Structure 1
Amino acid sequence: MNSIAKGAIGLGGVGTATGEGILANHLINSKEERNLSSKLKEDKFILLNLDVSKQESDDSKWQTIFTSYEALTTDKANLKIGNLTLTSGDKNAGIKQLKEACSSLLNTQPESSDFDKNYQLASQWCVEPISVESILQKRGITYLDTTGSENSKEWGEIAKEYEKIQTEAKKPLSEVTWTQVTSNNYSANITAIKEACKKRKEKSSHQEGFSDALKEAQSWCSITSKNR
C-alpha cells in the first residue's frame, strides 16, 4: 500500500474519531442543556451562586432563602430538599448545605420521575427571590392594574370568563365570592378579582404558595388572560 493510501486511511480514522468526539460532546452538551438548571433559566429565573467557598453577607439573597427554608420546613416536610433540615445555629454552614443540595437538584434530567417535584423545590430554594408580577413581566406578560381604573376592558372580559367556570364548590381564586350579576354589571366581581390579584402580585418565589399564585395570576390577573 503506498503512502498516499496509508495517509488517506489514517485521515479517515482521524475523521471518524473526530466525528465521534464531536457527537459525544454534542450529546453531553445537549444533556446539560436539557437539565433542570436550563429549564429554570428558560422560565426566566436567575440561579443563585453555588460557590460553597463563598461566605454570604447578612443581606444576601442566600440569607433570605435560608431564613425562609428554616421557617417553612419546620413543619412542612414536603418543602424540604431531601431530608435537609436547617437550624439558625450556624447560618454559613446551613447555606453551604443548601448550595450543595441545589447543585444536585439542578442537574436533574427531564426523564427523571422527580423532575417536576425537583423543579418546584429548585424554583423556591435555588433561585434569586422574585415576585409573581416580576417573573410574569420577564416572560413578556403584563400584570393588569389592580389599584386604579386602568385595564377596565380587560378586567371586564376576565370577569365574564371567570363567571363561566366558578361555582360554589369551585373558586379559581379562593377569596372571590361571586356576586350575582344584574343588568350586565360586573363591577363588584371585578373589584373582588382585582383584590385577589393584588395579593398574588407581590408573592415571592421563596414563600409558600408561590407556584399556585403564579398560575392563578397568569390565568386571571394578566393581559393574556383573555387569550386562555
Structure 2
Amino acid sequence: MTPSAADKAPPETGPHLLLVDDARDIRDPLARYLRGHGMRVTAAADAAQARAAVETGAIHLALVDIMMPGEDGLSLTRWLAGRGGPPVILLTAMAEEADRILGLELGADDYVVKPFSPRELLARIRTVLRRAPPAAPALPAGRRRVAGWTFDPATREAIHDDGRRAVLTSREARLMAVFLDHPREVLSRARLLDVTQGRGAKPYDRAVDNAVARLRRKLEDDPAQPRLLVTEWGGGYALAADVAEGDA
C-alpha cells in the first residue's frame, strides 16, 4: 500500500512522528488527529516504507504496530534501536503481553493497547518526547576531503576521485562529520553516541558499531580490513587520515 500525498508531506512544524500500521482505518484517522494537535506525521503501511522514511528524514518518535504482514513491528523496533533511535511506542493488541515485554526489551520506550484513546496516546507521545535529549546539531557547512573522498554535507554525498559515489543517511553523515572534525583522534563509543543516538544509551551500545560498519561498506576498499575508519581496541574508533578543506 502506497502512502497518500498527505502522508509524504507532513507539515513543517512540530515533532516529526512516524506512524507504522498496516490498518488504514486506524492509520489515517490517527495521523489526522495527531496533525491536528501540532505533530508532523509520516504514515507507513509496512516496515519497508518505515525504513525508507527513516533513511530520508529526521524522525523524532515512531509509533509501531506489532502485528503487521511481512516484517512485524518487533523486528522493525530492533532495527530502529540498532540504528540508535528514534524512540518507539508500540501499538499492541490486548493478547500480546509477551510481545509487549519483548518489545520493551528490544528498545521500545512505551506501549499502548488497542483499542486506545487518541488522547492517551498523545499524552504518552509528549512524555516520551520530553525524556528525549535535544536533537543532534546540524552538519557543518563546506566540503571536505579525506583519502580521495570529497564529502558534501549539503547533499550527504561522498564522491571519490575514481568516480565512486556514496550517499549517506543523516545519521551516517553526522558520524562522518565528527570523524572529519577530529582526524587521527581516538573517539570513544560514548562520545560518538552523543551524535548518532539521539537519545540516552549505554556507552557500548551496538548502534555505534553498526553505524561504523555501514560507513566502512560505503567508503573502504576492503571493509573487512579497514584502513580509513580504524578500530582502537578498548578505546573506540579513529579516522586514520588527514582532512583538507574544499574540493582540491
Answer 1 or 2: which has greater helix percent: 1
| Larger CA Rg, structure 1 vs 2 | 1
TM-score range relative to shorter protein: under 0.3
TM-score, length-scaled by structure 1: 0.25
**1 or 2 for the larger relative contact order (CA 8 Å, sep ≥6)?**
1
Structure number with higher strand proportion: 2
